[in-house]
Structure 1
Amino acid sequence: MKALRFILPLAMIFGFTLTSTAQTSKMGLVDQQAIVLEMPEYSAAQTKFSEKENSKMKEIETLYLQYQTKMQEYEELMMSGTLSSGAQQAKESELMDLQTRIQMAEEMAQEYLLEYNADLMEPISEKVNAAIQAVAQANGFTHVTDLSLFYVYPESDDITGKVRAHLGIQ
């Protein structure tokens, strides 16, 4: 009975706090990914990224062709039996060095492309975030989260269309 006297007032206070908080909060949902994909800036960024990616792939392809040529030369010399022990070791070392260069080039290209993509996407993300912020403020939303987090939600909470309109996306 004494525990009930203690717990009941706490439950009432907690309940009033939740009720008053719920009344002052307004949550909005937005499909940020869909908005980004529809932006003209995104298409331009993807084109730039593809061009840079193709350039890096050509560089790596050139190294692969060099490796294949050196490997063929090595195999032909081995088959002919004209390769001395020292020359064989030198050729094998050259092939291993080329393999290492290829691996390093692939890793560096991957890191570069990740960073390049992030640099291309940053202004787009900032623009979308600013639009979300403006729409939320104009419509009295205190919280906005991504739509992908919810399976079921009231359509009235979806501000994606308003953000699109703010950005001038049809």
Structure 2
Amino acid sequence: MNMKNTLILLALFLGLSFNVEAQKFGHIDAQSLLLSLPERVDAQQTIEAAAKEYEGEMIRMQEELQTKYGEYQAKATTWPDAIRQQKEKELQALDQGLQEFGQTVQMDLARMEENLLTPMIERVQVAIQDVGKAHGFTYIFDSSMGATLYNGGEDVTDLVKTKLGL
């Protein structure tokens, strides 16, 4: 009976040790890899061009508001109540329109960035998965996420760059 238990324990130990040895871990800084993609530069330029265009419109709207506010300050005391109240409503509407436009711009730029980056992120993820399968990795951890506590695995960045043609 003692010999039987010993053999069972030995078999379990050997099975576990083979299982542990079969695991292969890698790590990659996916964020820096994403930043190194040539299409990332193009995407950034597209976003910056749109932001500059929006900024020009925001400046134009602010100047219009400032001009009308200056006119209001200069003439408000001479206007009848009905005209003064109408000018105040116009100023409030311009100010609200400027604020709403600013929020719309932020949402549009965020959506544009997401639409441009999503295909790149997916491409990098597919390349990482392909490298993992081709080279027998059990796990590949993203060190840019700050979750890697021990960096003892193999750095697969060069393998993924090769897969991406970089």
Give the shorter-chain TM-score range.
0.7 to 0.9
Distance in 2 (CA, whole Å) between partners of 1:138 and 1:131 is 10
Instruction: Tell me what 2:165 maps to.
Output: 168
Instruction: Tell me what 1:159 maps to.
Output: 156
1:29-48 → structure 2 map (5 Å cutoff): 29-48=27-46
**Deviation at 1:19?**
5.1
Distance in 2 (CA, whole Å) between partners of 1:151 and 1:58 is 46
What is the aligned counterpart of 2:118 among 122, 125, 130?
A: 122
**Deviation at 1:61?**
1.5
What is the aligned counterpart of 1:100 among 96, 100, 103?
A: 96
Distance in 2 (CA, whole Å) between partners of 1:22 and 1:96 is 69
**Deviation at 1:122?**
0.9
Distance in 2 (CA, whole Å) between partners of 1:69 and 1:18 is 78
Q: 1:88 to 1:20 in 2, by over 3 A?
A: farther
Distance in 1 (CA, whole Å) between partners of 2:64 and 2:130 is 55
**Structure 1, unpaired ranges of 5+:** 1-11
Distance in 2 (CA, whole Å) between partners of 1:107 and 1:62 is 16
Q: 1:66 to 1:21 in 2, by over 3 A?
A: farther
Instruction: Tell me what 1:6 maps to.
Output: none
TM-score, with structure 1 as normaliser? 0.82
Alignment partner of 1:147 is 2:133: no
**Deviation at 1:118?**
0.2
Identity %: 30
Q: 1:96 to 1:166 in 2, by over 3 A?
A: same
**Deviation at 1:60?**
1.5
**Deviation at 1:150?**
2.4
Distance in 2 (CA, whole Å) between partners of 1:66 and 1:22 is 70
Distance in 2 (CA, whole Å) between partners of 1:135 and 1:60 is 46
Aligned residues: 153
Instruction: Tell me what 1:7 maps to.
Output: none
**Structure 2, unpaired ranges of 5+:** 1-8
What is the aligned counterpart of 1:67 among 61, 65, 68?
A: 65
What is the aligned counterpart of 1:90 among 82, 86, 89?
A: 86
TM-score, with structure 2 as normaliser? 0.84
Distance in 2 (CA, whole Å) between partners of 1:106 and 1:18 is 59
